[in-house]
Amino acid sequence: MKKRVVVNDKMQRGYEYFLTEPAGKNFAPDFLPELTPKQMLAMGIFGGKYMTDCQNEFPADWYKKAKLDLKFHDPKLNYFGINASQLLSVWQKKGWIHPADPRGWFQWYCRYYMGRRMPEYDQWQIKRWQAIKRHIAQIKKNCAPRDLLCRPKQRQAVLHWAYDARKI
């Protein structure tokens, strides 16, 4: 049975979608994220200022240990303590923002994780996720294994894409 979700936050009013898969299940075979949205929020991503007004849309337990700042982007809240984010306006100019998810990839991932499916759009986002592997390759080439002090900005960026940068 489909569950209807209606979104009313700072960036979307009256947007609705349906959850057609169980949460955390039935992902595309070529999409194998290493971290859940809940884990990512607890580790520290996007300076704590990402989707702070969306807490009604997602499970409350995602936010229990989330590192958030309701007012400011604070890179110290990031797992690696460094800013690895681009402005939303940059993402918009590059055409990386889809109208369904005006906040970008992580919003798509949260909704996908919860069970929303939009096949063509999902494949586009999955291809973007796969492209981040080039950053993983650079970390592996230039850093000793698990040297978390090596390339922290790149590691934080990889973390933003649900790859566990602590294991590289």
pLDDT attached to residue 160: 95
Residue 34 burial by Cβ neighbours in a 10 Å radius (0-12, 13-18, 19+): middle
Judge whether 165 and 158 are in contact, CB under 8 Å: yes
Average pLDDT, the chain: 94
Q: What is the pLDDT of residue 89?
A: 83
> What global pTM score does this model have?
0.94
Its domain, for residue 163, covers: 3-167
pLDDT single digits (tens) 35-45: 999 999 999 99
- Percent over 70 (pLDDT), the chain: 99
Q: What pLDDT sits at residue 94? A: 87
pLDDT at residue number 37: 98
Count up the domains in the chain and report the number: 1
What are the distances in angstroms from CA 67 to CA 12, 41, 54? 23, 6, 14
> Is the predicted pLDDT of residue 49 greater than 90, yes or no?
no
Q: Is 1 a residue whose pLDDT tops 80?
A: no
Per-residue model confidence as pLDDT tens digits over 51-95: 889 889 999 999 999 999 988 899 999 999 999 988 778 878 988
